Structure 1
Amino acid sequence: MSDSYAERQDSIRLVRDSAAAVVPADFRRIRDLRFTDAGFDAATWAEMVAMGWVSLRLPEAAGGAGLGMAEYVALAEALGRGLVPEPLIPGALSAALLAAAGQAPPEDYVVTAWQEAPDTLHAPGTPSTARLFLPLARGAARILLPVREASGLALYELPNPSLDVAMMQDGGHVATLRPAMDGARRLADDVAPAMERALDEAALATAAYLLGVMEQGFAMTLGYLRTRKQFGKAIGSFQALQHRAVDLQLQITLTRASVEDAADVLDSDAGFRHRRAVVSRAKARAAEASMLVTRSAVQLHGAIGYTDEYDVGLFLRKAMVLANSFGSATLHRRRFVAEMPEED
């Protein structure tokens, strides 16, 4: 084992360990934050910023930690296991754009209004078009707006934007923004390259978060199968349920392989198309597998799994919200076919 490999594994282990400070031992905090105004806890967000998570991918010269995608996906996976609602992934995307604009990493939550249509991973920057699906925007201190201009994809900061809010199944919310440029502050002339990279990294981090969601939901289900008894024996001893559990474990294992391989490719000098292809492979698999695993987890719990009071349902609701975030499985399968070289 090379020294660099061992050091990388140590770095990933430290990131996972640091997540224990935020990931709850139970889900009371998660339940308490559902359907609240902000949707997340400001004190927990401040703790995440202090630990350098929001700027984890930024180079040290830009005030970041200078870590790779392997560390980022390890962190996102750990947060997914705990259903942590604090918006690390959209916050990290905004931090990348601010860094491209020469700005310091933000201490507050900054959300970027980049999406103009459902199910896309492209930011056209059309000036007057409504921006959709801003995650937890009511808790944001600032909103960034990319706008297509002659110089490129300019970046603006909007003061006091008007938002239309819709609640989501997991108890969070998304907002629609109708841009009004009066009083907008221009931050950069062209952040297009940073935007492309940030969107791909956000898609992969979302896949990793979904990996954590399905792993923990599956672990809870295995525990239930081992303790719930029928006809005098644990239902986990029934062969039909064992076969189903093996199928679900296979989906989780394949998703992990896809996510970790994509992180390695993004941390290498691979070409642009290869990078996009492996991100799409990972996100497509994570989106579909997370829905299959979490739905099955609810079903395998029987009637109690369908009650809101039982925690396993929280994992299905989170998967329902994030499966299409930063591109659905359909979009990413299509992009994978377009970008992956035929010989691979």
Structure 2
Amino acid sequence: MAAETVPERISSEERALLADSAARLFERAGGLARARRQRGRRPVLDRAVWKEMAEAGLLGLLLPEERGGAGLGPLAAGAVAEAIGRHVVPEPFTAAAVLAADLLAALDTPAARDLASQLAAGDVVPILAWQERGVEARTLLDDGVLRGGKSWVLGGDAADPLLVTAQEGDAPLLLCLPPAAPGLVAEHRRTADGRFLSEFRFDGVALAENAVIARGDHVTAAVARAVDRATALAAAEMVGAAAAALAMTLDYLRTRHQFGRPIGSFQALRHRAVDLFMHLEIARAAIEEVLAALEDAPDPSHRAALASRAKARAGELARRICRETIQMHGALGYTEEYDLGLFVNRLATLSAWLGDDAFHRRRWFARTMPVGEGA
């Protein structure tokens, strides 16, 4: 896809400052030691850290100023996402402050505006459940009662509230449910990085009067845009985790000695390390270009192609980084106690979430190649 020139809302220098500020926040919160402690806890989210992220302005980057946010767009969110990947932050930034936030920003209803403001303040953790449990399954609202189910909800263990897409007749809906609503059954499965993917079943959930956030076809369009932006920002988070894994590996190559010299001085390992660095920088540049283009990409097909370009590139990078960094560490790279595993497991989780690189390569080709080409 040809490069695009899009006016940026935030300069590269400002993005660097934002990333540094986020990194210092995550280090103060406990860094990788906290990431290791939080693995498998439910909820993984620490409310105190979530509130501190809000006070630093990190939760409102995609929200307009009138809803308590900064309105800085995907490039700014990408700088924070990369810092989150570097520190393996357990809080659901991409699921809540990107996916849910972008959806709420696109819906002009009192309920959406109010919930967006609460998110920017760190008072809520809205998590979107939009993927049906089967190809033919539908979550339906009939006479005020919700039935159906949703799957693959990353961060669902921390949802407060849960945002649910549904149908009432022919009308798409976005609903807001408290996590303890009667009839709402949740099943949480631990992911490789110690967070949770959730499945929700709605066994006759009676809705409150204020449960409907928005209604109409614009809900479907807003969800599609939010998913595309979240996909690209998950790719940015993957770049952060990959960069940290590579940095740890380079340190190991400098300090591990064999035959009286650092193993990083051996030409074969030096060439492999340089190759990894090149792939990392190419992926980072491609994803930053995508995020810049997503600042203003109104065409749904074009936007989907941009998101797929980013995720496909990040997925390929993740597989290469995981394989090579483990091999360069030798047996140490396989141990549970060594921090390299934190990055590898985060990359494994994000590689699968919202579609792997094979899926996104197919989607990219479907939206960019003229009919009849590539057969």
Fold match, TM over 0.5?
A: yes
CA distance in structure 2 between the aligned counterparts of 1:129 and 1:259, rounded to whole angstroms:
36
Stretch of structure 1 that moved more, 44-53 or 6-15: 6-15
Q: Which of 149, 157, 167 is equivalent to 2:168?
A: 149
Gap change, CA 1:165 and 1:269, over 3 Å in 2: closer
In the alignment, structure 1 residue 164 sits paired with structure 2 residue 172? no
State the 4+ residue runs in structure 1 displaced beyond 6 angstroms.
none
Q: Deviations over 1:152-208 (max 9, x none)?
A: 421112232211111111111111101235222222113222111110110001000
Gap change, CA 1:275 and 1:137, over 3 Å in 2: closer
Q: Which of 67, 86, 98 is equivalent to 2:72?
A: 67
**Contact 1:129–1:179 (Cα < 8 Å) also in 2:** yes
CA distance in structure 2 between the aligned counterparts of 1:124 and 1:201, rounded to whole angstroms:
25
In the alignment, structure 1 residue 187 sits paired with structure 2 residue 213? yes
Q: Which of 94, 101, 104 is equivalent to 1:98?
A: 104
Report sequence identity in percent. Answer: 38
Alignment of 1:1-344 (within 5 A): 8-24=11-27, 26-92=31-97, 93-99=99-105, 100=107, 101-102=109-110, 103=112, 104=114, 105=116, 106=119, 107-116=123-132, 126-127=139-140, 128-150=147-169, 152-159=171-178, 160=180, 161-184=184-207, 185-190=211-216, 191-268=219-296, 271-342=299-370
**Contact 1:274–1:341 (Cα < 8 Å) also in 2:** no
Cα deviation for residue 150 of structure 1 reads 4.4
Q: Structure 2 counterpart of 1:310, which letter? A: Y
Q: Deviations over 1:266-313 (max 9, x none)?
A: 124564332221211110110121122023212211111111111111
Cα deviation for residue 26 of structure 1 reads 4.4
**Contact 2:9–2:72 (Cα < 8 Å) also in 1:** no
CA distance in structure 2 between the aligned counterparts of 1:94 and 1:266, rounded to whole angstroms:
17
Q: Structure 2 counterpart of 1:173, which letter? A: F
SS of corresponding position for 1:250: helix
SS of corresponding position for 2:163: strand
Gaps of 5+ in 2: 1-6, 141-146
Gap change, CA 1:301 and 1:89, over 3 Å in 2: same
Gap change, CA 1:82 and 1:311, over 3 Å in 2: same
Q: Deviations over 1:304-341 (max 9, x none)?
A: 11111111111111111110111111211111001125
Stretch of structure 1 that moved more, 109-118 or 286-295: 109-118
Partner of 2:4: none
CA distance in structure 2 between the aligned counterparts of 1:271 and 1:165, rounded to whole angstroms:
35
Aligned length: 337
**Contact 1:295–1:316 (Cα < 8 Å) also in 2:** no
Gap change, CA 1:63 and 1:153, over 3 Å in 2: farther
- What is the TM-score when the length of structure 2 is the normalising length? 0.83
**Contact 1:126–1:147 (Cα < 8 Å) also in 2:** yes
Cα deviation for residue 250 of structure 1 reads 2.0
Over aligned residues, Cα RMSD in angstroms? 2.3
Gap change, CA 1:35 and 1:7, over 3 Å in 2: closer
**Contact 1:213–1:319 (Cα < 8 Å) also in 2:** yes
Gap change, CA 1:90 and 1:307, over 3 Å in 2: same
Cα deviation for residue 89 of structure 1 reads 0.8
Q: Structure 2 counterpart of 1:51, which letter? A: A
Q: Deviations over 1:118-147 (max 9, x none)?
A: 9x9xx9964344211222322222111111
Q: Structure 1 counterpart of 2:21, which letter? A: S
Q: Deviations over 1:20-55 (max 9, x none)?
A: 233227411111101112112111111112223222
Gaps of 5+ in 1: none
CA distance in structure 2 between the aligned counterparts of 1:6 and 1:182, rounded to whole angstroms:
42
Q: Structure 2 counterpart of 1:187, which letter? A: I
Cα deviation for residue 225 of structure 1 reads 0.3
SS of corresponding position for 1:85: coil
**Contact 1:291–1:316 (Cα < 8 Å) also in 2:** no
